[in-house]
């Protein structure tokens, strides 16, 4: 189901583009978040796993300061810039992610070489599975390795996040980059987004992680995202805590009159969602699918009614999946919202029922066709010599 272009084929493409083969490849995955949405930038908890969908960047160091980049997804385009000059956004959307990572690394004083690069990715784009974080982490890993920057995995993740925050102007949290850097096969990771500590939580063998991509075009996602973040920060300030991580439902109700309705609802989502993540870790450790099912249902309900980041097609898709699985499986929207994908957890014997329910109902109700991926949790960033 996952298309992976053989590395030899990619290296031939690299050779045709640059006249010599690549020396190594940097590989970083997309992610799916099992639970804990919009908690990361509130210093809270999340429970994602890395996917086996990866962004791979083949590269070879140059002896100047030029960065040349080709992408297998945009064969008629190419990105090129000299990083000894001031970096400003260029014309290519994807090229700006390269500029962004170079910008933040250089701003911190790291000495970078020039590189020829070729990108190939099978992370579905625009579906909330973090294709951009995969690119940022693969790039950070590439520079770290080839220029001996001695960065830790979490430092590489933070550079990816800063690239988004300070160059792309998306005020995202740390979840996507941290799981892309640190992911472990067959495990979800509970991330403490304050300390950046990670705790591996094994995904039981008999539990399937299923991604149902709604293919609903994500609109307004970045601007609404930034507005949610401001509401959360305001709510924390009004309650007198550093971040919503530090607030309780008791404190929230004490301040209800001082908060706008939106601030109250956004904070309620974050406070309850943090607790759901902690509960979901226990449920996953105990392979308690009934409890996971309830937590995922409550998480989706909270995203729909309190954080207000879902759209009718996503709510409908979650309902189709939840109804098919009942108490023996869970379903919720995953990622930033306003479209994207739904994540389901279920047993093998319920897989066919789930797929049939999506095929029978989703297109009929929303005139869209979903893509369904049955996934394994994959590994995080790695560099391989070629």
40 binds ligand GLA (CB under 6 A): yes
**Among the listed residues 71, 70, 60, 67, the one whose alpha carbon sits nearest the alpha carbon of residue 85:** 67
Of 9, 346, 130, the closest CA to residue 357 belongs to 346
Q: Does 191 bind ligand GLA (CB under 6 A)?
A: no
Name 334's bridge partners.
Answer: 341
CA dihedral (93, 99, 105, 111) in degrees, to 10, reads 160
Q: Which of 14, 26, 28, 41 binds ligand GLA (CB under 6 A)?
A: 41
- Shortest distance in whole angstroms from residue 346 CB to ligand GLA: 22
Site for ligand GLA in 325-354 (CB under 6 A): 335-336
Strands 341-346, 371-375: parallel, antiparallel or unpaired by DSSP?
unpaired
Joined tokens for residue 68: 């040349």
Q: Is 176 an active-site residue?
A: yes
Candidate segments 71-79, 170-178, 254-262, 348-356, binder of ligand GLA by CB under 6 A: 170-178
* Residue 218 interacting with ligand GLA (CB under 6 A): no
Among residues 87, 117, 172, 325, the one that binds ligand GLA under rule CB under 6 A:
172
Q: Measured from the CB of residue 63, what is the shortest distance to ligand GLA in angstroms?
A: 36
Quote the least distance from Cβ 174 to ligand GLA, whole Å: 6
Binding test (CB under 6 A) with ligand GLA, winner from 175, 188, 281, 325: 175
Give the residue carrying structure tokens 């009614």: 305
- 135 contacts ligand GLA (rule: CB under 6 A): no
| CA separation for the pair 123, 57 (Å, rounded) | 13
In the complex, least distance from residue 349 CB atom to ligand GLA, rounded to whole angstroms: 30
265 C-beta neighbours (distance < 10 Å), count: 18
Which member of 120, 176, 231, 350 is catalytic?
A: 176
Residue 173 makes contact with ligand GLA by CB under 6 A: yes
Token pair recorded at residue 33: 């978040």
Strand locations in 228-340, DSSP E?
329-334
Where do we find the tokens 């008791």?
Answer: 250
Instruction: At 358, list the tokens.
Output: 């999506």
**Count of residues interacting with ligand GLA (CB under 6 A):** 10
Cα distance from N-terminal residue to C-terminal residue, the chain: 25
Q: Could you list the active site residues?
A: 176
Binding residues for ligand GLA (CB under 6 A): 37-38, 40-41, 172-173, 175-176, 335-336
């Amino acid at each position: 189901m996952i298309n992976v272009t053989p590395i030899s084929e990619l290296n031939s493409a690299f050779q045709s583009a640059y006249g010599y083969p690549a020396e190594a490849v940097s590989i970083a995955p997309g992610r799916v978040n099992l639970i804990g949405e919009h908690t990361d930038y509130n210093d809270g908890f999340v429970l994602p796993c890395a996917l086996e969908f990866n962004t791979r960047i083949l590269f070879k160091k140059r002896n100047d300061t030029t960065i040349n980049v080709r992408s297998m997804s945009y064969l008629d385009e190419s990105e090129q810039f000299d990083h000894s000059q001031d970096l400003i956004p260029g014309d290519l959307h994807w090229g700006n992610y390269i500029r962004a990572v170079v910008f933040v690394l250089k701003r911190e004083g790291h000495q970078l070489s020039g590189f020829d690069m070729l990108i190939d990715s099978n992370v579905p784009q625009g579906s909330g599975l973090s294709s951009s974080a995969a690119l940022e982490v693969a790039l950070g890993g590439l520079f770290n390795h080839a220029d001996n920057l001695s960065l830790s995995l979490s430092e590489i993740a933070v550079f990816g996040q800063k690239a988004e925050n300070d160059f792309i102007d998306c005020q995202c949290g740390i979840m996507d980059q941290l799981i892309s850097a640190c992911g472990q096969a067959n495990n979800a990771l509970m991330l403490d987004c304050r300390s950046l500590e990670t705790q591996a939580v094994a995904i039981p063998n008999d539990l399937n992680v299923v991604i149902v991509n709604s293919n609903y075009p994500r609109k307004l996602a970045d601007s609404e995202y930034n507005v949610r973040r401001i509401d959360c920060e305001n709510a924390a300030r009004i309650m007198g805590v550093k971040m919503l991580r530090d607030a309780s439902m008791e404190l929230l109700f004490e301040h209800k009159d001082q908060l706008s309705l939106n601030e109250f609802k956004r904070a309620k989502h974050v406070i309850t969602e943090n607790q759901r993540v902690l509960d979901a870790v226990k449920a996953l450790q105990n392979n308690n699918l009934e409890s996971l099912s309830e937590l995922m249902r409550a998480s989706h309900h909270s995203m729909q009614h309190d954080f207000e980041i879902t759209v009718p097609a996503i709510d409908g898709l979650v309902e189709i999946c939840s109804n098919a699985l009942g108490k023996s499986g869970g379903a919720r929207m995953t990622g930033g919202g306003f479209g994207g994908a739904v994540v389901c957890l279920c047993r093998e014997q319920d897989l066919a029922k789930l797929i049939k329910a999506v095929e029978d109902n989703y297109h009929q109700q929303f005139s869209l066709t979903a893509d369904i991926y049955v996934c394994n949790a994959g590994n995080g960033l790695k560099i391989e010599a070629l």
